[in-house]
Amino acid sequence: MKNELSSVVDALPGLVWTALPDGQVDFVNRQWCEYTGLSLKDSCGDGWQQAIHAEDLPQLLECLKSSSSCDAEVRMRRYDGEFRWFAFRGNPITGASGALVGRCGLSWDIEDRKRREEFLGESEQTLEALQANQELLDLAQKAARAMAFDWYIQQTINTWSPEQEALYGLAPGTFDGTYDSWRQLVHPSDWPGVVESLKHAQQTGIISAEYRVVWPDGSIHWLAANGRMFFDDKGQPFRMVGFTADVTRRKTVEEELRHSEEALDKARSELAHVTRVMSLGALTASIAHEVNQPLSGIITNASTCMRMLDADPPNVDGARETARRTIRDGHRAADVIARLRALFSKKDVSSELVDLNQATREVIALSRRELERNRVILRTQLADNLPRVTGDRVQLQQVILNLLRNGSDAMSAVDDRPRELVFKTEVEEGDRVRLSVCDAGKGFDPQTKDRLFHEFYTTKDGGMGMGLSVSRSIIENHQGRLWATPNDGHGVTFTFSIPRTIETQEVIGMKDQKSIARNG
């Protein structure tokens, strides 16, 4: 009989135990042993206590002292260390005399029920809080254009209010509460950011994310979610509570602000750029002045020197002094050239991708007034899809500006035909890009062709002969060529051709650039 009873007890879907009047356990069933991982022997006496959560043990011991039946709810440790909630019921066993001879009891798993109660309790609390502050909340929600959310992650118990759904452009009651559906609503570009925010929330408990959502009508709206993440005993997130707010207006303003700041930055750098390009004109005038001063000294001193030597008797000391000054002024002129060279040295060469069409348009725009004043008719034939070249945009624009000015100047005396200046860009074979400037000016004597690019050689009345020399140096620094061809009719075509890309090593090689001055 005892064996039969034992079999029944072992088959019960609960943990069964018996104890002596002093509370010492003398029997546990097989379910107990299987759940706790403790053997019968280990569980007897006080051994069973190690299976009870330390926080719940005092309450249970108190309960077991009772002379009548007792009930308790305690967390019991499973063999794998996980605690689950159990209901504990103990009944006193009395002998025929009515004296207490022991206790027996049954414990059963109530973990799921506990969880539900917890959720319910919290929900009720939330509900109460919401109800208590309903008016204030409504007001706050309207003011913040925000809606509360409360999401039980594991259960996917996620019921959205119609207002919450409205934030996503959804009709009331159409959101099914699943994570995947939510994911579908978030803008794909922003999803990684949302995931990142959720990961952050898993570490800190704080939810803070801003993301775009795509409404069913295709419109895009910015939402900001802020709240708390709650975790279960295992540290797994199970609930998210917080507010979602529509921040589209703020984001739009921010975006506009950013755009205007970018535009301002761009304008600033463009201005700086224009100043640098235009400075070539100022530079040329300044160079002319700087060179003319010592040249003037040289000529005056040399004249004086000759007169002193021609005198009878010759003023040798005076001649020596003026000759010394002549040499000094000659060095001064050389210094000006050296400074000019330094202007185009490596430290000023930047390497970037340059669109020659764009660079040309900018130079033309800068020179518009000058061209109008000189009654120059400008035409452009800029190639579509012109590959970009690697180089220094400012320097290349200085070359373009120089060719424009040269062309314009060459036609200043032309009155019997249109003063037409044609800018043309084209792709050359062998991965090169070519820009040519064709004028209808007076042209040049073919015999002087070689001297065109020499410094101080000029065909212009007011020219200094620096522009083409500097231009050729710049183009050569870009691994290119600059040359002039007489037109069939009137004028000249200046052309430069540079590779669409140049190797890094060659860019570095600019440091060892050839001097601007070439002996001619």
411 part of the interface to other proteins, by CB under 8 A: no
User: Is the CB of residue 55 less than 8 Å from the CB of residue 47?
Assistant: no
Q: Is 75 helix (H, G, I), strand (E, B) or coil?
A: strand
Residue 307 C-beta: closest distance to other proteins, Å: 4
Encoded tokens for 47: 């051994």
Pick the closest to residue 220 from 183, 242, 246, 182 (CA basis).
Answer: 246
Beta-bridge partners for 390: 353
Query: Binding residue for other proteins (CB under 8 A) from 181, 248, 293, 374?
Result: 293
Residue 369 C-beta: closest distance to other proteins, Å: 16
Query: Binding residue for other proteins (CB under 8 A) from 123, 300, 501, 513?
Result: 300
Window 49 to 88, contacts with other proteins (CB under 8 A): none
In sequence order, which ranges of 311-392 are alpha helices (DSSP H)? 316-343, 356-373
Total of chain residues touching other proteins, rule CB under 8 A: 26
288 part of the interface to other proteins, by CB under 8 A: yes
How far is 382 from 373, CA to CA, in rounded Å? 24
Quote the distance between the C-alpha of residue 334 and its chain's center.
Answer: 49
Encoded tokens for 268: 């600033």
Stretch that binds other proteins, among 25-33, 123-131, 140-148, 283-291 (CB under 8 A): 283-291
How far is 349 from 341, CA to CA, in rounded Å? 12
280 part of the interface to other proteins, by CB under 8 A: no
Residue 341 C-beta: closest distance to other proteins, Å: 21
Q: β-pairing, 100-109 with 377-381?
A: unpaired
Stretch that binds other proteins, among 96-104, 195-203, 318-326, 498-506 (CB under 8 A): 318-326
424 part of the interface to other proteins, by CB under 8 A: no
Window 1 to 40, contacts with other proteins (CB under 8 A): none
Query: Binding residue for other proteins (CB under 8 A) from 52, 106, 245, 308?
Result: 308
Q: Is 44 helix (H, G, I), strand (E, B) or coil?
A: coil
Residue 344 C-beta: closest distance to other proteins, Å: 23
Nearest residue (CB) to other proteins, 307 versus 442: 307
Window 109 to 138, contacts with other proteins (CB under 8 A): none
303 part of the interface to other proteins, by CB under 8 A: yes
Query: Binding residue for other proteins (CB under 8 A) from 84, 145, 276, 332?
Result: 332
Q: Is 30 helix (H, G, I), strand (E, B) or coil?
A: helix
316 part of the interface to other proteins, by CB under 8 A: no
Query: Binding residue for other proteins (CB under 8 A) from 100, 139, 285, 353?
Result: 285
Window 199 to 258, contacts with other proteins (CB under 8 A): none
313 part of the interface to other proteins, by CB under 8 A: no
Pick the closest to residue 365 from 491, 449, 273, 247 (CA basis).
Answer: 273
Pick the closest to residue 352 from 390, 396, 314 (CA basis).
Answer: 390
Encoded tokens for 246: 């529509």
Burial (Cβ within 10 Å: 0-12, 13-18, ≥19) of residue 376: buried
Pick the closest to residue 475 from 405, 422, 402, 426 (CA basis).
Answer: 402
Query: Binding residue for other proteins (CB under 8 A) from 125, 296, 350, 485?
Result: 296
Residue 377 C-beta: closest distance to other proteins, Å: 23
What residue type is assigned to position 173 of the chain? G
Encode burial over 2-28: b for 16+ CB neighbours within 10 A, e otherwise: eeeeeeebeeeebbbbbbeeebebebb
294 part of the interface to other proteins, by CB under 8 A: yes
Residue 310 C-beta: closest distance to other proteins, Å: 9
User: Is the CB of residue 96 less than 8 Å from the CB of residue 116?
Assistant: no
297 part of the interface to other proteins, by CB under 8 A: yes
Encoded tokens for 315: 């003023």
325 part of the interface to other proteins, by CB under 8 A: yes
How far is 234 from 269, CA to CA, in rounded Å? 57
Query: Binding residue for other proteins (CB under 8 A) from 106, 167, 298, 394?
Result: 298
Query: Binding residue for other proteins (CB under 8 A) from 462, 488, 489, 512?
Result: 462
Nearest residue (CB) to other proteins, 64 versus 323: 323
Query: Binding residue for other proteins (CB under 8 A) from 193, 237, 281, 318?
Result: 318
301 part of the interface to other proteins, by CB under 8 A: yes
Residues lying near other proteins in the complex (CB under 8 A): 285, 288-290, 292-301, 303-304, 307-308, 318, 322, 325, 328-329, 332, 461-462
